[in-house]
Amino acid sequence: MSKPLQALHHWFSERLEATRLHLARPDALLHLAVLGLLTGLLAGLIIVFFRYSVEHIQLWLLPGDGPDDFESLPLTGRLLFPLIGALALALMFRWFSRGLWVLGVARVLERMAYHQGRLTLRGFLLQFFGVAIALVSGHSVGREGAHIFLGASTGSLLGQKLELPNNAIRTLVGCGAAAGIAASFNTPLAGVVFSLEVIMMDYQLASFIPVILAAVSATVVSNAVLGDAAVFSVPTMQLGTLAEVPLVVVLGLLCGAVAALFIQMVQSIASRGRNWPIKRQMIVAGVSVALLGTLLPEVMGIGYDTINLTLLGGYAAGGLILMAVVKLVATSICSALNVPGGMIGPSFFIGATLGGGFGHLLHGWLPELPIQPGLYAMLGMSALMSGSLQAPLAALTALLELTDNPQIIMPGMLVVVISGLTASELFRKKSLFLTMLEAKGLSYEQSPVMMALRRVGVASVMDTSFVQASRLLDPERARKLLQEKPRWILVTEEQQPRAVLAAVDLAAWMESHDGEEAPIDLMKIPGRRLEVAPIHLRDTLQEALETLEKSAAEALYVRRMTAPGIWRTYGILTREQIESAYR
């Protein structure tokens, strides 16, 4: 390497190192904003490529005029597509997953709670190709969960590649999740709200700004390639009279009850199939979708064309309710048996058909009221998403952006709250994402203390005023070390850190033994000594606290490998510093 290139590489390495240290702070807003923008652009490109690939494969395989048109398949096609897809998924997971079965939003939540948002390339590839197979073969799943996972993985892998601290990686996961929703639906605001409400559960400014930039940049990429039209084309709708408000309340209660049933079905099926081999799970899901698809092909695939026709009043009440029931069964089976895909799209389908059927019945029962069944279909979409995913703000903003219909804000606010409360308080159900984790034997817990500690990296709190010294130290060397005025002395023995000693105690001992030239044993002189354990520079204060609790250590020395086999120590971290940072 030439000298100019060496100088450039050295300068870049120094700047990257300084950036890593700065990103450990909870208020590194500018750096996070730039990384959020980059994450959004990368995630947008990946999601556009995913959508382009899936839709063009569907156009090539399906005889209809558009993607996801499984209604145009003959009876044998409706039977064979899910079965072939199930076999392909079974083989893919058996050969390549290495036990990684739970994907989608549930997997992102689990990695955020227990692994600091560190997602893997294997999971990224399994989700990309697995959901593509599931969607092309007509399984009853959505694409949004895949987009969220792909976006979150993009942010996580970018952060890991740059060796950023874990608190910054967590923020990039949130940025990627927001980008996934934004590019999937052309709904940047819903992406931001979903990420903050479900993935990060954090409304700090340092999290909010990068997430917004990620959602905007992903939407720009999506609009440039796929266009900026709303997903559903519907005329302006609104409540005809305030007398319909009680009917909206009833719809909220109904959707909340159906959401609770949805969650219970997923929980029951997942618990029964937890110990099944993956091949059996995929085959059972494929056979179920094939049989249900022969009865009602509208429930195959995402079903956005059916939703749009429902919003326009294109079905009768009986047909809509039947579609809601069959879609509920098909999606419960697919989700519970680990078919990769999302649950937002299916919840929209179930809610739209349920709400549309309810609206048609009201139109027949109450002819004196100016009831629009399409309005109740729209409200049902957001209500079922709110109840099943426990994300009322995301459901409301998604409804507004998807339909470009601002007149539904007031009834929409009412219906999402009632549905969410019905599912969570009346039926005591957690969200579908948490239910999936618990059904697979994975717990999920969040506490305000842990959330606060995860936002801060050890590098922003550690004490850098320290020196390293071997256990046996000659007085002359001790005087030179004290001239640097450190707070701590990291005592090493056989080139391994053993304890930290308060430098003031060594100074006091030197003063009381002035003139002595015998070697000083730093592990025996009077003073405050703390046993130490290592922690990585990228870790958060939560991980630091867990390390202290699991080990017998009283302090931590912060380090990072700068070359193969070579570790550099950056600072000292005590329990008091962690508690002070939290306070």
User: Which pLDDT value is given to residue 406?
Assistant: 80
Token pair, residue 36, equals 């959020």
Same domain, 424 and 497: no
From 174, 203, 232, the end of a domain falls on 232
CATH number, domain containing residue 471: 3.10.580.10
CA distance 484 to 482: 5
In a domain, 453, yes or no: no
Based on the fold, state whether residues 392 and 509 are members of the same structural domain: no
Counted domains in the chain: 3
- Do residue 513 and residue 381 come from a single domain? no
183: Cβ–Cβ under 8 A, 6 or more apart, which residues? 43, 44, 47, 48, 147, 151, 218, 219, 221, 222
Let me know if residue 152 belongs to a domain: yes
What CA–CA distance (Å, rounded) separates 461 from 167?
Answer: 13
Q: Rounded CA gap, 163 and 158, in Å?
A: 9
> Residue 446: what pLDDT?
67
Residue with tokens 């969650």: 263
Q: Cα–chain-centroid distance for residue 12?
A: 31
Tell me the mean pLDDT per 10 residues along the chain, length 583: 69 79 82 94 95 90 82 90 93 82 81 86 92 93 89 95 90 95 88 89 76 95 85 78 91 96 93 86 93 91 88 90 96 91 90 95 90 92 93 88 82 94 93 80 68 84 91 87 90 88 89 79 87 91 89 89 87 88 71
511 and 411 in one domain?
no
DSSP 436-486: HHHHTT------HHHHHHHTSBGGGTSB--EEEEESEE-HHHHHHHHHT--
262 and 226 co-located in one domain: no
What pLDDT is recorded for position 285? 94
User: Do 154 and 267 fall within a single domain?
Assistant: no
Claim to verify: residue 400 and residue 513 sit in the same structural domain: no
Residues 431 and 468 in one domain: no
**Dihedral angle over CA of 431, 434, 437, 440, nearest 10:** -50
CATH number at residue 110: 1.10.3080.10
The pLDDT value recorded for residue 443 is 64
pLDDT value at residue 329? 96
* 351 and 469 assigned to the same domain: no
**544 assigned to some structural domain:** yes
Q: Would you say residue 381 lies in a domain?
A: yes
AA letter at 553? A
Cβ-based neighbours of 500, under 8 Å, separated by 6 or more:
466, 488, 489, 490, 491, 529, 530, 532, 555, 557, 572
Nearest alpha carbon to residue 343 among 432, 435, 232, 441: 432
Are 486 and 557 part of one and the same domain? yes
Does 196 fall in a domain?
yes
Cβ contacts of 547 within 8 Å, gap of 6 or more: 533, 535, 539, 553, 556
Residues 6+ apart with CB under 8 A from 295: 326
Identify whether 529 is part of a domain. yes
Which of 344, 353, 339 has the alpha carbon at shortest distance from 290?
339
Q: How far is CA 39 from CA 15, 46, 61, 119, 393, in A?
A: 20, 11, 33, 14, 24
The SS3 call for residue 572 is strand
pTM over 0.85: yes
Q: How far is CA 180 from the centre of its chain?
A: 10
The length of the chain is: 583
Asked if residue 192 and residue 222 are part of one domain, the reply reads yes
Q: Is residue 445 part of a domain?
A: no
Torsion over CA: 507, 508, 511, 515 (sign): negative
Q: Is 390 exposed, middle or buried (0-12, 13-18, 19+ CB in 10 A)?
A: buried
Q: Which domain holds residue 502?
A: 458-582
Same-domain status, 289 and 402: yes
Edge to edge, the sheet with strand 555-563 lists 466-470, 488-493, 496-502, 529-536, 555-563, 566-574
Q: Are 67 and 245 in contact (CB under 8 A)?
A: no
Choosing from 408, 439, 470, the residue where a domain stops is 439
Return the pLDDT at 578: 86
SS3 of 431, please?
coil
Where is the domain boundary, 406, 439, 472? Answer: 439
Rounded Cα–Cα distance for residues 261 and 266 (Å): 9
Residue 266 CB burial class (10 angstroms; 0-12, 13-18, ≥19): buried
- Please name the residue ranges forming H helices in 274-372: 278-295, 304-311, 317-336, 344-365
User: Whole-angstrom Cα distance, residue 176 to residue 149?
Assistant: 8
The answer to whether residue 420 is domain-embedded is yes
